[in-house]
């Protein structure tokens, strides 16, 4: 049954992505609000299919920020981007520039929400990322970053990159840590039934020194993530 549900969801996901991506292609030539609407509909429809077909639902705990802040989230699966996009409304998302080359997904993401970063560019990458993030904040939107830079399996050793601290310092806004347990349920092809928790944690105030900020960010996210994983089946 798990294999069948996972297969049927994958068929739904691929069909939805291809049809929506092709039909809505003209919107890429228009202002970004069209691509934002497509991305939101795609995310909602994907998560609806995940619940209806695979029996996998989700819930939010804590307070979702409704103002321009930096949101730093644990990253375990593709589900994280979908759910955080819905929860946060219209965030600017810090991501690797290579992702924008993915057909359909990358095209719409680049138009609607991307704050691309070229890691090989060093300090120039941080300056470009900060300028793009400030523009997002000026529009009253939050900035979302995955501080480990890549997906981590549940229970894997944390590896927080310094870029999040540089962005926090240069933006001068509060940082909202986010913990989750999606990796228990969304495992590549396999989609296990249950309820994923997306936990918004106590905000970290602006102005902390780099070391203090990094210790607080990692401590809050990893402690809350460990608690979620301990309760997961």
Interstrand relation of 70-73 and 175-180 (parallel, antiparallel or unpaired)? parallel
Share of the chain above pLDDT 90, in %: 77
Going from N- to C-terminal start, the domains of the chain cover 56-231
Do residues 62 and 168 lie in contact, with contact meaning Cβ atoms separated by under 8 Å? no
Tell me the average pLDDT across 139-158: 95
Tell me the average pLDDT across 22-26: 91
H/E stretch holding 219 reads helix 210-231
Q: How much is the pLDDT for 154?
A: 95
What region, left, alpha or beta, does residue 104 occupy, with left being phi > 0 and alpha being psi -120 to 50 degrees?
Answer: left
How many helices (H) and strands (E) are present in the chain, helices listed first? 7, 9
**What CATH architecture does domain 56-231 belong to?**
3-Layer(aba) Sandwich (3.40)
Residue whose structure tokens are 């509060």: 174
Residue-wise pLDDT tens digits, 160-208: 999 899 999 999 999 999 999 999 999 999 999 999 999 999 999 999 9
Do residues 70 and 168 lie in contact, with contact meaning Cβ atoms separated by under 8 Å? yes
Residue-wise pLDDT tens digits, 45-77: 999 999 999 999 999 999 999 899 999 999 999
CA–CA separation, 231 and 227 (whole Å): 7
pTM of the model: 0.93
Q: Above 90 in pLDDT, residue 82? A: yes
What rounded mean pLDDT belongs to the chain? 92
């Amino acid at each position: 049954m798990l294999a069948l549900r996972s297969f049927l969801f994958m068929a739904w996901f691929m069909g939805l992505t291809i049809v929506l991506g092709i039909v809505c292609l003209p919107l890429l030539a228009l202002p970004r609000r069209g691509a934002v609407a497509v991305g939101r509909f795609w995310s909602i429809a994907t998560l609806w299919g995940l619940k209806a077909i695979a029996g996998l639902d989700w819930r939010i705990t804590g307070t979702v920020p409704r103002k321009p802040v930096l949101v730093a989230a644990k990253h375990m699966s593709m589900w994280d981007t979908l759910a955080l996009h819905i929860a946060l409304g219209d965030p600017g998302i810090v991501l690797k520039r290579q992702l924008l080359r993915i057909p359909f997904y990358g095209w719409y993401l680049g138009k609607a929400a991307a704050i691309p970063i070229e890691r090989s560019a060093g300090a120039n990458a941080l300056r470009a990322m900060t300028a793009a993030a400030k523009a997002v904040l000026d529009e009253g939107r939050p900035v979302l970053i995955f501080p480990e830079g890549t997906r981590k399996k549940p229970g894997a050793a944390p590896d927080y990159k310094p870029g999040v601290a540089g962005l926090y310092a240069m933006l001068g806004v509060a940082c909202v840590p986010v913990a989750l347990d999606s990796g228990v349920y969304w495992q590549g092809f396999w989609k296990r039934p249950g309820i994923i928790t997306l936990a918004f944690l106590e905000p970290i105030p602006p102005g902390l020194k780099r070391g203090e900020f990094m210790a607080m960010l990692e401590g809050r996210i990893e402690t809350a993530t460990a608690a979620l994983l301990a309760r997961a089946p």
